[in-house]
Amino acid sequence: MQVALISYTAEPERTVAAAARLSTSPVGAAELLQRMTPEQVASLLQHLVEAGHLSPFEHASFTFAVEGISRACSHQLVRHRLASYTQQSQRYVSLKTLPFITPESIAAKGKLLGSYQAHMEASHKLYREFLEQGVPAEDARYLLPNATETKLVLTMNARELMHVCGVRLCLRAQWEIVELFEKVKIEVHKVAPFIARELKPKCYQMGYCDENESCGLIPTLKELEEDEAVTQGAGAA
């Protein structure tokens, strides 16, 4: 999987800070953008996150070229609606070869791996035969597996990135989309380190795990309440 940041709002963190400061300043955002010191920018961003005033983060957008993810992964990704996507079309691009993703759980099982690869090859062979028989690519693609690799361009603003990372960096999310957002975070860190630090699983944002069962990183609310009851009980004794 490759994720490359191909474009982004110039001075993303300063832009967020200038927009936020504008709401309480007599001068305009253009002047604030020039005038604010790096310390003022950092301190304001910290305040915005702590206060939950996240709308200024919508002014910083990031565009990524994503390659080598499965269609299973891209389908999960595009459920996030506050973003823009452009994906390589299976109607207009017919596949001469079938690049596909192999999950580790299958790669680790030698015999199953062979069956998996044979299935991919057979699907692709049938797909090519259908194309040769005049079936349009838009219909022949129905034969292709979820594992088929895809390429897309993704644009998200920083507020939506925080939200999506909250649910997709959770270790209970599916491994491929977790990996995708880990790479997104690395790319954002190169140009906006404060924003990148806020791209974290929702349990870090909330202080507890809201899944039925915690992965062990942070306790669930029920576990925290039980711990508190034990501590209070010990104090009363």
Ligand X SMILES: Cc1cc2nc3c(=O)[nH]c(=O)nc-3n(C[C@H](O)[C@H](O)[C@H](O)COP(=O)(O)OP(=O)(O)OC[C@H]3O[C@@H](n4cnc5c(N)ncnc54)[C@H](O)[C@@H]3O)c2cc1C
Q: Can you give the binding site for ligand X, defined by CB under 6 A? A: 79-82, 160, 163-164, 167-168, 172-173
Distance, CA of 61 to CA of 181 (rounded, Å)? 15
Contact 210, 221 (CB under 8 A): yes
Instruction: Give catalytic status of residue 128 as yes or no.
Output: no
Contact 154, 74 (CB under 8 A): no
In 3D, which of 205, 200, 194, 161 has the Cα closest to residue 45?
194
- Give min distance, CB of 84 to ligand X, in A: 12
- Give min distance, CB of 214 to ligand X, in A: 14
Contact 40, 8 (CB under 8 A): no
Choice between 153 and 167, CB closer to ligand X: 167
Q: Which two tokens stand for residue 139?
A: 């219909």
Choice between 79 and 96, CB closer to ligand X: 79
Q: Which two tokens stand for residue 120?
A: 């991919």
Pick the catalytic residue from 14, 168, 172, 197: 168
Choice between 4 and 215, CB closer to ligand X: 215
- Give min distance, CB of 192 to ligand X, in A: 19
Q: Catalytic site residues? A: 168
